[in-house]
Chain A
């Protein structure tokens, strides 16, 4: 784990760094650690490849795609649920992409996660087009698909009125 470069005789640092390649030997709530490691530096266990994942809506609701990282505060009961709205569906797809993106930043050689990112990106693209056709543009560029300058229309994201309608 955290291996030294494969070719210790070369002085050059590796161009493409590799994340630690280890079999998933630890359970879901645990990551891998080096057996020996330099003193006086902080260590956080590495999340293993192939970690279990939530479904899309469940990931948004929990604030993470990964059950192993879901560490809630004890005061959890008195919280509302994510509303079942078209916007929340789009937010859930985009959240999974955000979460996978951070994971891939530190696990760039995880091919399964990369493939998952591709699949969710395709779903998000289709979902975004459906959402924008019905509710208006999410980006200024997307306003080109509309007949008028719909970009400026209320509600803006921070607007929510009593009684439920955004």
Chain B
């Protein structure tokens, strides 16, 4: 089960609202490589994982991603705090505003609603862990692109923390594949799927 801790993983203190920046950062909330998809991916994949330390890893990284989802939601909330209609009219944030006001909604930067079609839970040990490596890279590059678009030091401080976490998670998923391989058929790891073929 999950219990709430009334604090963020990392401080988010945005002094200057900036709705245009919020309208691209929202992609790491509900976008194709965002934190909602990341947490759902790992917390769903773990049910088919046969190896105890990798059940732990998927649970722990999936849980950390939920904390990142909260941080990104906090970024969007603080960047749209106390804004007036005249701050919005004619800016790229207007399309978001007309549907969601200053609410936080899981969508891509393009406006497409969050979709489970952006993630997989295949029930196959190697396929899932290999997807997870790619997922961490895609989240990392999205944070790179946000850093390219943002000149707000308060935002960049948070984004570079989140970006670094993707790199650490990539390392752990890589180690996870090595640990899984040790336990699989040593001559041909594709001989069976140990999550299904008992």
Contacts and interface: CB of A to CB of B under 8 A. Distances in A.
Contacts of A162: 15, 81-82
A42 B160 CA distance: 26
A73 B163 contact: yes
Contact of A95 (B9, B15, B133, B171): B9
B171 A44 contact: yes
Interface of B: 3-15, 51, 53-54, 56-57, 60-61, 64, 70, 73-74, 77-78, 81-82, 126, 130, 133, 143-144, 147-148, 151, 153-154, 156-157, 160-165, 167-179, 181-183, 186, 188-190
A23 interface: no
B182 to A, nearest CB: 6
13 contacts: A2-B182, A4-B186, A5-B182, A43-B177, A46-B175, A69-B168, A69-B171, A75-B156, A80-B154, A105-B172, A106-B179, A156-B6, A157-B70
B78 A17 contact: no
A25 interface: no
B23 to A, nearest CB: 18
B178 A79 contact: no
Given A64-B167, A156-B6, A14 B183 contact: yes
Nearest to A106: B175
Contacts of A87: 7, 11
Contact of B130 (A42, A45, A69, A101): A42
A90 interface: yes
B98 to A, nearest CB: 23
A14 B73 CA distance: 43
A70 interface: yes
A63 interface: yes
B183 A13 contact: yes
Contacts of B151: 78
Contacts of B5: 138-139
Contact of A41 (B126, B147, B162): B126
A46 B60 contact: no
B173 to A, nearest CB: 8
Contacts of A41: 126, 177, 181, 189
Interface string A114-141: 0000000000000000000000011111
A64 B54 CA distance: 20
A160 B12 contact: yes
Nearest to A156: B6
A95 B53 CA distance: 20
Contacts of B56: 105
B172 A42 contact: no
Contacts of A47: 171, 175
Interface in A16-57: 17, 19-20, 38, 40-47
A27 B126 CA distance: 29
B164 A105 contact: no
B43 to A, nearest CB: 15
Contact of A158 (B70, B82, B126): B70
